Each structure stands twice: as structure tokens, then as C-alpha cells.
């Protein structure tokens, strides 16, 4: 068994990854941007909207895969962090009507939230960390009811967006915004994880004691990883707010956080390409399930079928991979 | 002392933890009623051998025949029913349970509740120190008490074959001597067969009939105890004293 | 003062349910070193079974029994088909698989029953008796205390007085040694999951009528409270789970009563953070903090 695994997986995969690695991130990002541009001019509005959603999801899954895949911290709270970003965006936008400012505010505020959770998270392991972040995911939406004069409870807030410049249709504009965010995020993460930070977070994941002995500041590295991924979640939250032109607690249920985990696990933990794949699945699968639901004429099937499929895929992938997460994970060796 | 009368017959046993085996082609024969010592330096594969015999570790190759039955088809859980007791290295006392619970655990599988109860009393008679500490948790016991507990728990199953992994580990010489004397006594009284793994060569050979020396997972020598004791070269080469 | 007394009883009643649910988490944690994040979803499934049976037969108690039995079976099924195969090299594996189960269970429930809240009846009235002019507790609260009390007593007897209980404890603490002593460790694990799921189902039956009603995600918040209770008491300690449950119940009741119901979830989160950072081994543990 072990023998086989070592022979078939180990030499093949890193080589492939290694070859991909030779394409500098900047080139990959530019190619991606060009592709998106072409797509936004060819796709119909609804597809553009879906494309935009993929971009928004990618923004958060990219950050999460760095946290979970490269640093080994599982967060079930990223849905709540997205909510933080989305609400900050909404409140700032409705007040000052400036999208750059609002996006910036969303990132800053969510980053601060990430610092708080990350400080706690760095002292926790395994199920305790999962439990804490799960609590965050479940509890944070209830804040909207506690401070209902600001957040307007379950009704949420609608957002006064700046109109798209010129005659650009809304959906294309949304796709551009989301993908601008996604690609910048991916570029920054790719650059970041190739440098010293990347080496440190992987060292901490693999063996905390060894990392400490090698001079890595373990706690600081973990907090930093959490903060980076929180910033991504904040931006993603803002992008979701741009997409929906409104925010409400119902848009950020616990299942959103679980979906994000599923996406990065299925895509192959620790790879940005995997995060992209996961983001794609998050949009495609529910769409397919919805179609199937409409065909069958059962309203109950719609959202729920996607839930079941996601769950089954997640369980099957976890059980089929020998060693669980560790073997799904890619090592991203530096050359 | 090999041949048809053997209670345990091991042949061509190869086993390990990953791709590379730790044990290579081990052959071993334990006659009924004998005390056989398995000797060897740290890391020689003694523990691995016992774990493979009892099925905690699956063998890559080879056979383990106990009383005419190939043990590879027997689940670990059913080993006690065949009459095999394995006292693992580090004694295997369940530290969260009390002395009494540990001992009762040793007899839970038995149909003959009456005899299980009798065996429990016998163990308390054999180890008065345990009788005084019935209600103490395992983690409160001293090393010697733990060893007595593990040994006593094994005896409650009235085994025919006892697999003992380094009973002297961390014990004072006096207590080690007591335990060795007890083993010899048990063999005399009940005909118990013992496969005794030890790094403490002197103690082990003081009661064993025969010794088997393991080195890097291979049997390098097998001889009767007296001769092994006197073989200085061998001791220097494999046993480090 | 009256209000304080009322809130105290109310808190203890809620706490009893969290205690039962936390107990279910502790049972599995001790047996398998897995925090069963699917416990809430599994309990909701059992309550839906009860709902259907009660709907069909008109008898609350038939539904009640059906939920418990279904819980047992679901526990067996989950352990035998999924959890048994989880790789234990990282504690995250078990967590992620359990989360997958959450999605499956919630999705299947949604498909079968739809996603609207269904009111669910209680077998006893929920308005409080008055003693000396002070509203103390309702018949339903008494029922909750009795049910949870019975479970705690039964589990205590099982684990301390019976051979099966001894086997289960031994199998959990020292699986290899137990196998060598003839304990069917796999079977004990399955039994542990079955018992835990049944206790979780009971907790679900008790708590769902007091909350918003039946819904595939009805136990999400309860799970967080129960997890907090288990952590407060120390994941390894059944007594801690019961104590932790009562602590969380009282906290929720006082906070809801004095500060408003919407603040309560945050209070639980604060308690969880405080305990995790201050005493990760639980408030009542003497041993070193256990982090994984
Ligand atoms: N759980 C394990 N996983 C991998 N290798 C092991 C394990 N246990 C022991 N080994 C290796 O097997 C060899 C024999 O170990 P062991 O049987 O414990 O020796 P002994 O009991 O004679 O000291 C050693 O090289 C040891 O490193
Ligand atoms: Mg050894």
C-alpha cells in the first residue's frame, strides 16, 4: 500500500507542480485576466453573473486553502468573516458612496476580526479550533439581531452601488470587479506563499516543534496565516455584497462555511488551482442541482440536492484518500 | 527441545511497520511447559515479534502455529480464548481503571464466571500488595505494582502460553528477581509456557530453559540458557555486556 | 428576586438539555477521539422521525420512542459505514468527515420534509407552576429534568456497574490492551456511537419544541451551546459535561432574561473563548490542558 502510494503519487505530482511553478504568478494572472475579459464579452448576462460569483468564491477559497492546506488550521468561520466584510462594505457604501473606500473598509475590519480570532486560534488545535470557529460561524449572524438598528436584523440592508461606468452592463461590471479582486488576491497569495512566509507556515503545519527549533515564531506565523486568510474573506464578503447589492444574515449561513471547506478539500488542499476548482464547483453544482430540481418538479430538491452532493463528495474524498487530508494536500515544494 | 511437542511454532516470520520489514524470516519453537527467553539489544525487534505473534501487527509472510492452529486466521480479540496471554511492553495497565477493574477485565471473556472469580482471588493472594490497593487507579501504582497487576491480569485468563514483554523494565533488581521466581514457580505448578522477551539477559537466563538471540530482526543464535550465559563473545556481540 | 428564581429554574431546565447533548459529545470523544460535529444534524433527523411517527399515529410517545431507536440505529450506521474508516493521523480528518455528514443529513431532511419551520408539540404544558406567587417551572421542565436525570443515572450505572461498561471504558482508554484481553473493541466503539446518538436524539426531542421549531438546521445553535458545555466541563469528563451543560443553561437564561435573547448566543461564544483560552482542559480538569 504505502509502497504503491510512494511510487505512483510522490514522483509524479510534485514534478507536475514543479513544472507549473515555472510559470511566474504574474503571467498566470495576466492570462487569467485576459481570459476573463474575453469571457465577459461573450457570455450572456446571467453567465457573467455566475462567472462573477466564481471570482468572489475564489477570493475566499484561495485564502482558506493557504490557512488550512499550508498552515494546517481548519476554519469553519470564514462564512462569518465574509459576513463581516459584506456588512462593513454595505454600511460604508451606504454612508459615503465610494466603492474603493468601502472595499478597503471591508478588508480592514475583517482583518481586525481575523486578528482577534487568529490570536485565539493560534492557541488551539484540532477539534477545539474547529469548534471555536464553528461557534463564530453560528453566532456572528445573530449579531445582526442584537444591534438591529444598525444591521436591520434578518431583513438585512440594501446597498446603493455606484453605477457601472459608461454603458457597461451591470453583470459584466460585477464580473470585472469580482475577478479583479480574485486575481489580485491570487497574485498576492502566490507571491507570499513562495517566500519566507510560505516556508514558515508549512514548517509550522508539518512539525511545530521542529519549526520552533528552526527559529520560526510559531504563534506569530499562525496568527499571520489566519489574518491573511481573513483579509481574503473580507474582500470576498465585499464582492458578494456587490453581487447581491444587499446583505442579510441568511446569505451567510453555517453551510456557507462548510461549503468553503468542502471546496478547498476537493480542489486539493494548499493549491490555488484547487481553490479555483472548488470555487467553480460551488457555483456549478448548485446550478446543476437546481436544474435537476426544476426538471423533477420538486421544490424541495433545489438547494438541498446540492447539499447532499457536496456532503457525499466530501465524505467520499476524505475516506478514499489514504491518510485523509494529508494526502489530499499538495506540498508546493519550492524549487 | 524442538519438534512435535512444540506448543508454539513460528516459521519464516517476516513483519514490520511499513514497506521495510523489521523481522526477517524468524523461526522459533516453544515447547509446552518451557520458558524461552528472547534476547536482544534495544531495537532488535523483540517487541515487534510479540506483537506479530499476537496479531496486533500483521505478518507479511510466515506462519505462527499455536497448538496446531494457524494464528493468522485468529482475531486478536479471540487470542485469550485460545489460551494466549500477551503482557505488552510498558505493562499495559489501563491507568484510568482501578486495580480491581483491571483484573476483572482480564476475566470478562470467560464463560466460567465461577472460576474467573476464583482466579481473581488467587491473584490477590499471589500479590497481597494489589489486594491492598484494589480501589486505586492504575496511574497511582508504582512500577512494580503495575507489573504485578499486568501479570496477575494475564493469569486470570488461566493461559497456557504467556507472552511477556520486558517485565523487568524499570524495576528494582529485587522486584525483578521476585517476578522471575514467580514465573518459574508458575511453570512448575501449572505447566505454564512462557515466551519471555528481555533485555535483562542475566535475569531472563536465570529462569529460562533456552534463549533465542535476535539481532536486527534476525535470529542469530539459539541455545540452552546455561551455554548462552557462558558465551562471552556472544554477549559482547549482541547483548552488550 | 422572583425573576431571578424563575430564570434560575429556566436555566437549569435548558442546561439539562445541553448537559445531555454534551454528554453525547463526550461519549464519542472518549470512545473515538472524535468530536462529532454531526451530532446536531443527526439529532434533528431523529426528531423528524418522531414528528412523522407522531403525525401518523397521533401518539407523542410512539414518536418519542421512534426517535430514540432511530438515533441508536443512525449511530450504528454512521460508525460502521463512515467513521470507522476515518484516518486518525490528523484530528481534522474526523472533523471534516463529520461536516460532510452534516451537509448530507441536512440536505436529505430538506428534500424529504422541506425547509420550513414546523411547530412541534410537547407532551406536557410549558406554563410554569406558581409556588408562593413565584413562577418556578413547568410540567415540561419537570419532564426534561426527569428524562435527563434518568439518562445520567443509567449511563453512570452502565459504565460503573456493568461488564459492558467496563469493556467500553477499557476499549476507549487502551484499545490494544483491551483486544489482547478479549474485548471486542470495534463493537464497543459502535455501541458508544449508538448510545451517544440516542442520547443526542433525546436532547433533540427535548430542545426542539422549546426553540423555533423543527428545521434541518434547528440544532446548529444548540450544538454550539452543547459543545461549549462539553468544553467547559472538559471533553473527557461525563460529570464535567453535565456540570458544563447546567452552567451554559444558566448563563443563557440570565443573559436572555436580563440583557435580551439576542445577546445570548454571543454570551456563549464569549464563554467558549474564555474557557478555551484560560483552561482548555475544562474548568474542572486537574490534568494538563489537552489541545488535540
Ligand atoms: N510503531 C512503529 N513504527 C515504525 N517502526 C517501529 C515501530 N515500533 C518499532 N519500530 C522499529 O522496529 C524496530 C524494532 O523495534 P522493537 O520491536 O520495538 O525492538 P525491541 O523491542 O527489541 O527494542 C526498531 O528499529 C524500531 O525503530
Ligand atoms: Mg521492546
CA distance A64 to A84: 16
Share of residues in chain A with pLDDT > 70 (%):
89
Q: How far is C182 from chain B (nearest CA, A)?
A: 4
Within a domain: C29: yes
- Give the pLDDT of residue A3: 35
What spacing in Å lies between the alpha carbon of A39 and ligand 1's midpoint?
Answer: 59
- Give the pLDDT of residue A294: 80
Within a domain: C89: yes
- Give the pLDDT of residue A13: 35
Half-sphere exposure of A239 (CA within 13 A, CB side): 31
Ligand number nearest CA of B88 is: 2
Q: What letter would DSSP give residue A195?
A: S
C87 CB-contact burial (10 Å; exposed 0-12 / middle 13-18 / buried 19+): middle
Is A6 within 8 Å of B19 when comparing Cβ atoms? yes
Confidence of residue A6 (pLDDT cuts 50, 70, 90): very low
Confidence of residue C277 (pLDDT cuts 50, 70, 90): confident
Query: Is there a contact between C150 and C64 (Cβ–Cβ < 8 Å)?
Result: no
Within a domain: A203: yes
What spacing in Å lies between the alpha carbon of A85 and ligand 1's midpoint?
Answer: 52
> What HEC string does chain B produce?
CCCCCEEEEEEEEEEECCCCEEEEEEEEEEECCCEEEEECCCCCCHHHHHHHHCCCCCEEEEEEEECCEEHHHCCHHHHHHHCEEEECCCCCCCCCCEHHHHHHHCCCCCCCHHHHHHHHHHHHHHCHHHHHCCCCEHHHCCHHHHHHHHHHHHHHCCCCEEEEECCCCCCCHHHHHHHHHHHHHHHHHHCCEEEEEECCHHHHHHHCCEEEEEECCEEEEEEEHHHHHHCHHHHHHHHCC
A12, pLDDT greater than 70: no
Query: Is there a contact between A52 and A175 (Cβ–Cβ < 8 Å)?
Result: yes
- B158 Rama class: left (phi>0) / alpha (psi -120 to 50) / beta: left
| Number of domains observed in the structure of chain C | 1
- Give the pLDDT of residue A145: 79
Question: Closest-CA residue in chain A for C265?
Answer: A139
Within a domain: C287: no
Confidence of residue A330 (pLDDT cuts 50, 70, 90): low
Is A324 within 8 Å of C110 when comparing Cβ atoms? no
Ligand 1 pocket test, candidate residues B38, B42, B43, most atoms within 8 A of CB: B43
Strands B218-224 and B210-215: antiparallel
C284, pLDDT greater than 80: no
- Give the pLDDT of residue A174: 93
Q: Quote the Cα angle for A229-A69-A288, to 5°.
A: 85
Tell me the residue range of the domain where C193 lies.
2-218
Confidence of residue B45 (pLDDT cuts 50, 70, 90): very high
Within 10 angstroms of residue B98's Cβ, the number of other Cβ atoms is 16
- CB contacts, 8 Å: B19 with chain A: 2-3, 6
Residues in CB range of C198: below 8 A, 6 or more apart: C68, C69, C71, C72, C75
- Give the pLDDT of residue A163: 84
Residue C18 or B42, more confident: C18
Average pLDDT over residues B63-84: 92
Strands B21-31 and B35-39: unpaired
A18, pLDDT greater than 50: no
Confidence of residue A154 (pLDDT cuts 50, 70, 90): confident
B218 CB-contact burial (10 Å; exposed 0-12 / middle 13-18 / buried 19+): middle
Q: How far is A4 from chain B (nearest CA, A)?
A: 10
C288, pLDDT greater than 50: no
- Give the pLDDT of residue B201: 86
What spacing in Å lies between the alpha carbon of A274 and ligand 1's midpoint?
Answer: 38
Within a domain: C192: yes
Q: Which residues pair with B46 in a beta bridge?
A: none
Average pLDDT over residues A107-125: 93
- Give the pLDDT of residue B226: 83
Within a domain: C250: no
A62, pLDDT greater than 80: yes
The chain-wide mean pLDDT, for chain A, equals 86
C184 and chain B in contact, CB less than 8 A: yes
- Give the pLDDT of residue B117: 93
Query: Is there a contact between C115 and A303 (Cβ–Cβ < 8 Å)?
Result: yes
CA distance C7 to C264: 13
pLDDT 10s digits, B15-27 = 998 878 899 999 9
- Give the pLDDT of residue C112: 93
Average pLDDT over residues A121-146: 88
Average pLDDT over residues B138-159: 92
- Give the pLDDT of residue C187: 95
C85 and chain A in contact, CB less than 8 A: yes
Ligand number nearest CA of B42 is: 1
What part of A 69-88 touches C (C-beta under 8 Å)? 72, 74, 76
Confidence of residue A335 (pLDDT cuts 50, 70, 90): very low
pLDDT 10s digits, A193-210 = 988 999 999 999 888 889
Question: Closest-CA residue in chain A for B20?
Answer: A3
CA distance C81 to A181: 42
- Give the pLDDT of residue C285: 60
Residue-range domain boundaries for chain B:
6-83+160-239, 95-158
Cα–Cα nearest to C85, from A253, A176, A323, A172: A323
pLDDT 10s digits, B160-186 = 999 999 998 888 889 899 899 999 999
Q: Quote the Cα angle for B170-B174-B178, to 5°.
A: 100
Class of domain B6-83+160-239: alpha beta
Q: How far lies A138's CA from each of A78, A88, A241, C229, C235, in Å? A: 11, 19, 20, 16, 21
Q: Note the Cα A19 to chain centre separation in Å.
A: 25
Is A307 within 8 Å of C220 when comparing Cβ atoms? no
C252 CB-contact burial (10 Å; exposed 0-12 / middle 13-18 / buried 19+): buried
Does an H or E element contain A23, and which?
Answer: none
A334, pLDDT greater than 60: no
Strand order across the B59-66 sheet: B21-31, B6-16, B59-66, B69-70
pLDDT 10s digits, B179-218 = 999 999 999 999 999 999 998 888 899 999 999 999 899 9
Average pLDDT over residues A6-35: 61
CB pairs < 8 Å spanning A and C? 177
Alpha-carbon dihedral angle through residues A229, A233, A235, A236, given to the nearest 10 degrees: 130
Query: Is there a contact between C200 and C22 (Cβ–Cβ < 8 Å)?
Result: no
The chain-wide mean pLDDT, for chain B, equals 90
Residue B209 or C127, more confident: B209
Does an H or E element contain A297, and which?
Answer: none
What residues are in contact with ligand 1 under a 6 Å CB criterion? B 17, 22, 40, 42-48
Residue with CA nearest ligand 1 atom 26: B43
C218, pLDDT greater than 80: yes
Confidence of residue A270 (pLDDT cuts 50, 70, 90): confident
Share of residues in chain B with pLDDT > 70 (%):
97
Average pLDDT over residues C277-282: 76
CA distance A262 to C91: 17
- Match 471533553 to its residue by C-alpha cell: C235
Longest dimension (CA), chain C: 62
A331, pLDDT greater than 80: no
Within a domain: C197: yes
Question: Hey, CA dihedral for A293, A298, A303, A308, is it positive or negative?
Answer: negative
Query: Is there a contact between C264 and C275 (Cβ–Cβ < 8 Å)?
Result: no
- CB contacts, 8 Å: C38 with chain A: none
Rg over CA atoms, chain C: 19
pTM comes to: 0.88
- Give the pLDDT of residue C206: 95
Residue in C35, C96, C104 nearest the CB of A325: C96
pLDDT 10s digits, B227-240 = 888 877 777 777 66
The ipTM estimated for the assembled molecules is 0.91
C213 and chain A in contact, CB less than 8 A: no
Confidence of residue A326 (pLDDT cuts 50, 70, 90): low
A17, pLDDT greater than 50: no
C129, pLDDT greater than 90: no
Residue B119 or B170, more confident: B119
DSSP C102-116: HHHHHHHHHHHH-SS
- Give the pLDDT of residue A302: 74
Confidence of residue C291 (pLDDT cuts 50, 70, 90): very low
Cα–Cα nearest to B193, from B41, B25, B15, B29: B29
Query: Is there a contact between A69 and A330 (Cβ–Cβ < 8 Å)?
Result: yes
Is C96 within 8 Å of A120 when comparing Cβ atoms? no
| Number of domains observed in the structure of chain A | 1
Strands B59-66 and B6-16: antiparallel
What part of C 17-36 touches A (C-beta under 8 Å)? 29, 34-35
Tell me the residue range of the domain where A32 lies.
28-153+170-252
Confidence of residue B241 (pLDDT cuts 50, 70, 90): low
A295, pLDDT greater than 50: yes
CA distance A322 to B109: 34
Average pLDDT over residues A75-88: 95
Q: Determine which of A318-332, C140-154, C208-222, C271-285 has the lowest per-residue pLDDT on average.
A: A318-332
Residue with CA nearest ligand 1 atom 3: B17
Query: Is there a contact between A130 and C93 (Cβ–Cβ < 8 Å)?
Result: no
A320 and chain C in contact, CB less than 8 A: no
What are the CB-based long-range contacts (under 8 Å, 24+) for C284-291?
Answer: C284/C233, C284/C234, C284/C237, C284/C239, C284/C240, C284/C243, C285/C234, C285/C236, C285/C237, C285/C240, C290/C235, C290/C236, C291/A124, C291/A125, C291/A126, C291/A128
Amino acid at each position: 500500500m504505502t509502497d504503491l502510494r510512494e511510487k505512483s503519487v510522490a514522483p509524479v505530482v510534485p514534478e507536475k507542480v514543479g513544472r507549473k511553478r515555472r510559470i511566474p504568478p504574474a503571467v498566470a494572472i495576466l492570462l487569467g485576466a485576459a481570459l476573463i475579459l474575453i469571457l465577459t464579452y461573450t457570455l450572456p448576462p446571467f453567465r457573467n453573473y455566475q462567472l462573477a460569483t466564481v471570482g468572489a468564491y475564489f477570493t475566499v477559497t484561495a485564502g482558506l486553502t493557504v490557512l488550512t492546506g499550508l498552515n494546517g488550521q481548519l476554519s469553519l468561520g470564514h462564512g462569518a468573516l465574509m459576513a463581516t466584510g459584506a456588512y462593513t462594505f454595505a454600511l460604508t457604501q451606504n454612508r459615503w458612496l465610494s466603492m474603493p473606500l468601502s472595499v478597503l473598509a471591508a478588508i480592514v475590519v475583517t482583518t481586525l476580526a481575523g486578528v482577534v480570532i487568529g490570536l485565539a486560534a493560534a492557541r488551539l488545535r484540532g477539534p477545539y479550533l474547529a469548534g471555536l470557529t464553528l461557534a463564530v460561524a453560528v453566532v456572528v449572524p445573530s449579531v445582526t439581531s442584537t444591534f438591529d438598528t444598525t444591521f436591520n436584523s434578518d431583513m438585512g440592508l440594501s446597498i446603493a452601488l455606484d453605477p457601472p461606468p459608461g454603458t457597461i452592463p451591470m453583470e459584466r461590471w460585477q464580473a470585472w470587479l469580482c475577478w479583479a479582486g480574485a486575481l489580485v488576491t491570487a497574485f498576492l497569495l502566490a507571491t507570499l506563499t513562495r517566500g519566507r512566509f510560505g516556508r514558515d507556515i508549512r514548517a509550522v503545519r508539518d512539525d511545530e516543534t521542529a519549526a520552533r527549533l528552526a527559529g520560526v515564531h510559531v504563534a506569530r506565523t499562525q496568527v499571520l496565516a489566519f489574518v491573511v486568510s481573513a483579509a481574503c474573506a473580507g474582500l470576498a464578503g465585499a464582492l458578494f455584497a456587490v453581487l447581491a447589492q444587499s446583505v442579510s444574515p441568511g446569505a451567510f449561513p453555517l453551510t456557507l462555511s462548510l461549503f468553503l471547506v468542502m471546496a478547498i478539500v476537493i480542489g486539493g488542499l494548499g493549491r490555488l488551482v484547487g481553490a479555483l476548482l472548488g470555487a467553480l464547483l460551488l457555483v456549478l453544482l448548485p446550478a446543476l442541482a437546481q436544474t435537476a430540481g426544476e426538471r423533477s418538479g420538486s421544490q424541495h430538491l433545489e438547494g438541498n440536492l446540492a447539499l447532499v452532493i457536496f456532503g457525499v463528495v466530501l465524505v467520499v474524498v476524505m475516506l478514499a484518500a489514504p491518510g485523509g487530508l494529508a494526502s489530499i494536500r499538495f506540498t508546493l515544494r519550492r524549487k | 527441545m524442538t519438534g512435535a511437542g512444540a506448543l508454539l511454532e513460528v516459521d519464516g516470520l517476516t513483519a514490520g511497520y511499513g514497506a521495510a520489514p523489521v523481522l526477517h524470516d524468524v523461526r522459533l519453537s516453544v515447547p509446552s511447559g518451557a520458558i524461552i527467553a528472547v534476547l536482544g539489544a534495544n531495537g532488535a525487534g523483540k517487541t515487534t515479534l510479540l506483537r506479530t505473534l499476537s496479531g496486533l501487527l500483521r505478518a507479511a509472510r510466515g506462519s505462527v502455529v499455536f497448538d496446531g492452529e494457524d494464528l493468522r486466521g485468529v482475531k486478536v480479540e479471540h487470542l485469550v480464548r485460545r489460551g494466549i496471554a500477551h503482557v505488552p511492553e510498558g505493562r499495559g495497565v489501563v491507568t484510568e481503571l482501578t486495580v480491581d477493574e483491571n483484573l476483572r477485565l482480564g476475566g470478562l471473556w470467560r464463560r466460567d464466571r465461577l472460576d474467573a472469580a476464583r482466579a481473581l482471588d488467587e491473584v490477590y493472594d499471589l500479590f497481597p500488595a494489589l489486594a491492598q490497593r484494589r480501589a486505586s487507579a492504575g496511574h497511582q501504582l508504582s512500577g512494580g505494582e503495575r507489573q504485578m497487576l499486568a501479570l496477575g491480569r494475564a493469569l486470570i485468563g488461566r493461559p497456557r502460553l504467556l507472552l511477556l514483554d520486558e517485565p523487568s523494565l524499570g524495576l528494582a533488581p529485587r522486584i525483578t528477581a521476585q517476578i522471575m521466581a514467580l514465573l518459574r514457580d508458575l511453570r512448575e505448578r501449572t505447566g505454564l509456557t512462557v515466551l519471555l522477551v528481555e533485555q535483562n539477559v542475566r535475569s531472563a537466563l536465570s529462569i529460562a530453559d533456552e534463549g533465542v538471540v535476535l539481532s536486527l530482526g534476525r535470529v542469530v543464535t539459539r541455545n540452552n540458557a546455561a551455554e548462552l550465559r557462558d558465551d562471552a563473545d556472544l554477549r559482547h556481540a549482541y547483548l552488550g555486556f | 428576586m422572583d425573576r431571578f428564581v424563575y430564570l434560575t429554574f429556566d436555566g437549569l431546565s435548558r442546561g439539562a438539555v445541553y448537559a445531555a447533548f454534551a454528554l453525547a459529545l463526550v461519549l464519542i470523544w472518549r470512545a473515538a477521539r472524535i468530536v462529532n460535529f454531526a451530532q446536531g444534524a443527526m439529532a434533528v433527523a431523529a426528531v423528524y422521525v418522531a414528528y412523522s411517527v407522531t403525525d401518523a399515529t397521533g401518539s407523542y410517545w410512539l414518536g418519542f420512542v421512534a426517535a430514540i431507536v432511530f438515533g441508536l440505529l443512525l449511530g450504528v450506521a454512521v460508525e460502521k459505514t463512515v467513521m470507522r474508516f476515518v484516518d486518525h493521523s490528523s484530528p481534522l480528518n474526523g472533523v471534516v468527515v463529520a461536516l460532510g455528514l452534516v451537509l448530507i443529513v441536512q440536505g436529505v431532511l430538506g428534500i424529504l420534509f422541506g425547509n420550513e419551520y414546523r411547530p412541534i408539540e410537547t407532551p406536557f404544558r410549558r406554563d410554569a407552576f406558581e409556588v408562593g406567587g413565584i413562577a418556578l417551572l413547568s410540567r415540561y421542565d419537570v419532564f426534561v429534568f426527569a428524562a435527563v436525570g434518568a439518562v445520567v443515572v443509567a449511563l453512570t450505572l452502565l459504565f460503573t456497574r456493568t461488564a459492558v461498561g467496563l469493556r467500553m471504558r477499557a476499549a476507549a482508554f487502551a484499545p490494544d490492551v483491551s483486544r489482547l484481553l478479549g474485548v471486542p473493541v470495534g463493537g464497543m466503539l459502535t455501541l458508544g456511537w449508538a448510545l451517544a446518538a440516542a442520547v443526542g436524539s433525546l436532547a433533540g426531542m427535548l430542545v426542539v419544541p422549546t426553540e423555533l421549531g423543527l428545521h434541518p438546521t434547528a440544532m446548529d445553535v444548540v450544538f454550539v451551546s452543547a459543545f461549549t458545555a462539553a468544553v467547559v466541563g472538559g471533553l473527557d469528563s461525563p460529570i464535567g459535561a453535565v456540570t458544563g451543560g447546567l452552567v451554559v443553561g444558566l448563563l443563557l437564561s440570565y443573559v436572555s432574561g436580563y440583557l435580551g435573547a439576542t445577546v445570548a448566543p454571543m454570551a456563549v461564544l464569549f464563554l467558549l473563548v474564555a474557557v478555551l483560552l484560560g483552561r482548555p482542559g475544562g474548568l474542572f480538569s486537574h490534568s494538563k490542558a489537552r489541545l488535540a
